[in-house]
Structure 1
Amino acid sequence: MVAEHQGAESVGKTTSTDPGRRCGARRTRGGSDDPSRAGGSDPTRAGLESPQSPHEQARGICLRLLTGTPRTRRQLADALSRRGIPAEVSEEVLSRFEEVGLIDDAAFADAWVESRHHSRGLARRALARELRTKGVDSGLIQQAVERLDSAQEEETAVELVARKLRSTRGLDRDKRMRRLAGMLARKGYPEGLALRVVRRALEEEGEDTEDLGWAPH
């Protein structure tokens, strides 16, 4: 019995002085290893939930808008203004984007002229009008549209008329003239060029165009 009593007393002492149990007890009381028990907030979570500064918001907006679609500085500035970004912050962020080449209005204008002329057959006047609506500087617009020379512009006008000519067959000569010339006018072609190209196309089909005037509708 004495031996049994001494053995139980020995286990009790070992249990009460076990370092792991003492450490676990301290963790439970103090909660230093468990943020949820301590009532504090996780620093990582707190950082994610902190509000963005206006500069961070502006950069995020610009990057999202530029993903897959080039935009002009004016387009981005308008977007930032609509989202309540202060003007001075917008100016600072947009200038930085220009410095690193994320905004390039000259490259935008060149690409726009190339794409819209080949895909829509637009002439220099219409292309310049579109670029103005996007806020491109007039000097950059001039440089971009001058890449499209008169010979190329006339060649495209001839192709446009050739594609449209068949749909006008059966109409009287004057109506055909107005419809074809009006189509070119809407795409920005000068009046003299449009009249010359349409007359040539009609003459090749046997139409007499000597007495034709032109007032596009």
Structure 2
Amino acid sequence: MTKQEEPKEAVSFEGGQLTALLTQKGNPDRVSLFLDGKFRFGVFREVAYHHGMKKGMDVTSEQLEALWRDEQVLKARDLAIGYLGMKARTAKQIADYLAGKEFEEKVVAMTVEWLVERRYLDDELYAKAWVESRMRSKPRGRAMLRWELQQKGVGSAEISRALESLDSDAQLDAAMRALEKKIGRKQLAFTADETRKLAAHLARRGFSSDVVYESIRRFRAGSNLDND
């Protein structure tokens, strides 16, 4: 992209006559708009077509601004889809990413809406996949999972639906697996100090107190220890 295509100064939306619509040498998918004989800015060919741009027509400032905004949305879509190609994201993560690329708020909102409508973005599916992945590889309690998803901008309703499958049995199973990862092959006597450290370990991972102490009790019972 040339410096002419993306001037650093603010884009002028002053209307005028479209005196030339030229295919850009470096990119045949883009055209340069000239109003009253002066280069204004470049846009994708499909944007110019969508707005019915033709040589000789009078272009109002409103039309020019709409043309520019659609051009920015198209650029934002391309960037967002590429970003999504790396891994799944939430709507907020995409919005933050595009804002970081200095797209204006309206362009960001239009882009996110387009992505949601076409199911490129689905926060509920994201939340469910996140919960399933966490429970497989890094067992967490409901509280921790809820907090993690909140940090990613997922709404409370979507989070609640994603956590529906985590009943008490599922939480106990997850806590037991977390204990197995923590203890490994170490031989514990389950002293008061060891038990306290295990409880703290599980609590930091968002497990409720009932789940923490029941999982430790079961783990200790399974170890056939009698430390009373």
TM above 0.5, yes or no, is: yes
Does 2:115 correspond to 1:97? yes
Does 2:63 correspond to 1:63? no
Question: Which amino acid in structure 2 is aligned with residue 127 of structure 1?
Answer: L
Contact residue 73 and residue 105 of structure 1 kept, 8 A? yes
Q: After the TM superposition, which parts of structure 1 deviate over 6 Å for at least 4 consecutive aligned residues?
A: none
1:29-65 Cα offsets, whole Å, 9 max, x none, are xxxxxxxxxxxxx935154576553212211220111
Q: Within 2, Cα distance between the matches of 1:157 and 1:169? A: 18
Q: Within 2, Cα distance between the matches of 1:156 and 1:131? A: 18
From 215, 219, 223, the equivalent of 1:197 is 215
Name the residue aligned to 2:91: 73
Q: Within 2, Cα distance between the matches of 1:78 and 1:159? A: 35
Mapping of residues 56-205 of structure 1, within 5 Å: 56-165=74-183, 169=187, 173-203=191-221, 204-205=223-224
Q: Which has the higher helix share?
A: 1
Instruction: Using structure 2 for the length normalisation, give the TM-score.
Output: 0.66
Instruction: Judge which range, 114-123 or 130-139, deviates more.
Output: 114-123
Give the SS at the match of 1:161: helix
Unaligned runs of 5+ residues in structure 2 are 1-21, 33-41, 44-70
Give the SS at the match of 1:206: coil
Q: Within 2, Cα distance between the matches of 1:57 and 1:87? A: 14
Contact residue 142 and residue 206 of structure 2 kept, 8 A? yes
Highest CA radius of gyration, 1 or 2? Answer: 1
Unaligned runs of 5+ residues in structure 1 are 1-41, 210-217
Q: Which has the higher strand share?
A: 2
CA RMSD of aligned residues (A): 2.3
Contact residue 71 and residue 103 of structure 1 kept, 8 A? yes
Percent of pairs with identical residues: 28
Contact residue 189 and residue 225 of structure 2 kept, 8 A? no
From 19, 23, 30, the equivalent of 1:43 is 23
Question: Which amino acid in structure 1 is aligned with residue 194 of structure 2?
Answer: R
Contact residue 123 and residue 153 of structure 1 kept, 8 A? yes
Contact residue 73 and residue 103 of structure 1 kept, 8 A? yes
Question: Which amino acid in structure 2 is aligned with residue 164 of structure 1?
Answer: K
Shift in Å, 1:107 = 0.6
Question: Which amino acid in structure 2 is aligned with residue 43 of structure 1?
Answer: T
Shift in Å, 1:165 = 3.5
Shift in Å, 1:100 = 0.8
Name the residue aligned to 2:227: 208
Give the SS at the match of 2:89: coil
Shift in Å, 1:85 = 0.4
Give the SS at the match of 1:140: helix
Mapping of residues 18-57 of structure 1, within 5 Å: 43-45=23-25, 47=27, 51=42, 53-57=71-75
Q: Within 2, Cα distance between the matches of 1:179 and 1:167? A: 17
Give the total of aligned pairs.
168
Shift in Å, 1:152 = 1.2
